[in-house]
Amino acid sequence: MGFGPRRVGAALVGALLVVAPAAGHTAPDGSFWGKVVGPGPARTDESGAAAAPKEDIAALLERVETEEASSRLDAACALLERALPRFTGAEQTAAWFRLGIARSKLGRYREAAVAYAAVVADGAADSAVYSNFAEVLMAAGRLPDAEARYRDAISAANDLGVGDRRERAHELALAYYGLAVALDRDEQPVAARETMLRALAHDPTAAVLKVASAPGGDLFFVPDGDVLYYLGLAAEVEGRDGDAQAAFRDFVERAPRGRWARAAEAHLARKSGGRRANGAGEAVPRILAHGTVLATGGIAAPLVDAAWRDQLGILDECLEGVRVTLRATLRMAIEMDVDARGKITRVVAKVPPPFDERFAHCVESVTKQRLHFAVPAPGRPTLARTELIIGIR
């Protein structure tokens, strides 16, 4: 869970990647913390009595920050827990949110989940709150619940306006990163790869993860070292096997008895086994991961992904004549137009070397003729773009 004195606004968890504001600072319009500590008229509770003034909540958060800066996390939690009954409305929600962060730093994930659930129950949750909630649920081992909250975070981020494009991309990347890791740990590797590819579409260089892995920054992860799992999975999906192995190995060394150590060890074992089975030469590539990064019109992106997931084998005949080295991975994109009846009318394959024009035409032809959508006629045309990672399994 992240907290930085220079960053304002609630951004997310990575494992737990959160940005919370320094007390007394002004938050951007529209952010969760802007609603809590930003300027505005005096508030009253349901009885009409004056609620706790904003200066009171700001002073409390400043005291909490002081305790945390002195590594007195238990004292910070106690301050918040004692103060909660004094507040109502947005001020109480702010205290719950801050308590969720403090409890997470102490590894009290179940209690942190209670705090975030209170924010959700108040109706004040945005993408950051849902992502924080998801991270503590994952840390507590509740993967299906964590996945549901990550999807809530994605939905909330998608609701941001056009003017919030940068914030939207940032929060979507973080929510997709978290969901990818949760799915991977929940033994759903195909869905995890697809989701990680979506995260990387919003954060192409994995810059968010790199920032989160730097000590003492505004963004950080809990449990300590969990960012290594994210980095490992991202590198694996991109085909950077050396980086993936290093990250997963470091993750296991940090917490050899941790909850997710076996999941990381499974990644290391699969890579080792793949090298023994394939040797050092060339082999026939296959689609390793895919993700629909654009879908406008009648068919939503998850439905396009589902169609590809069930029919990826249609591209095998195009890949048969291609040879790549074991460590090589390549990214290609398929754009298509789908009419209102659900029929594909145009396909364009954008492929890198060593793929040639013949391969691109094969992909276009096979996709147009054999890819089908298991949905009723959408009623509106659809434009979709799907990115695929090609390599050796």
What is the structure's pLDDT at 355?
77
What is the structure's pLDDT at 17?
42
User: Could you confirm whether domain 1-278 is CATH 1.10.540.10?
Assistant: no
The answer on pLDDT for 91 being more than 80 is yes
| Mean pLDDT value across residues 274-299 | 71
222 pLDDT band, cuts 50/70/90, is confident
What radius of gyration, in Å, describes the C-alpha atoms of the chain?
23
| Mean pLDDT value across residues 241-259 | 93
Kindly state the tokens that stand for 370: 């054999």
What residues contact 322, with CB distance under 8 A and at least 6 apart?
284, 285, 354, 355, 359
What is the structure's pLDDT at 330?
80
| 272: exposed, middle or buried (Cβ count in 10 Å: 0-12, 13-18, 19+) | exposed
In sign, the C-alpha dihedral spanning 175, 177, 178, 180 is: positive
- What is the C-alpha separation between 23 and 101, in angstroms, rounded? 14
| Mean pLDDT value across residues 158-165 | 73
214 pLDDT band, cuts 50/70/90, is confident
- What is the C-alpha separation between 296 and 385, in angstroms, rounded? 9
What is the structure's pLDDT at 291?
87
What is the structure's pLDDT at 136?
95
What is the structure's pLDDT at 239?
82
The answer on pLDDT for 118 being more than 60 is yes
What residues contact 260, with CB distance under 8 A and at least 6 apart?
185, 226, 229, 251
What is the structure's pLDDT at 10?
34
The answer on pLDDT for 249 being more than 60 is yes
327 pLDDT band, cuts 50/70/90, is low
- What is the C-alpha separation between 388 and 330, in angstroms, rounded? 8
Location of structure tokens 């917490």 = 255
| Mean pLDDT value across residues 321-346 | 81
Nearest to 57 by CA among 83, 30, 35, 26: 83
- What is the C-alpha separation between 49 and 136, in angstroms, rounded? 35
What is the structure's pLDDT at 82?
92
Least confident of 69-83, 89-103, 125-139, 156-170: 156-170
Q: Who wins on pLDDT, 310 or 184?
A: 184
Least confident of 21-25, 197-201, 250-254: 21-25
Domain spans of the chain, in order of start: 1-278, 282-391
Q: What is the mean pLDDT of the chain?
A: 81
| 265: exposed, middle or buried (Cβ count in 10 Å: 0-12, 13-18, 19+) | middle
The answer on pLDDT for 75 being more than 70 is yes
Q: Who wins on pLDDT, 8 or 220?
A: 220
CB atoms within 10 A of CB 322: 16
Least confident of 54-68, 147-161, 323-337: 323-337
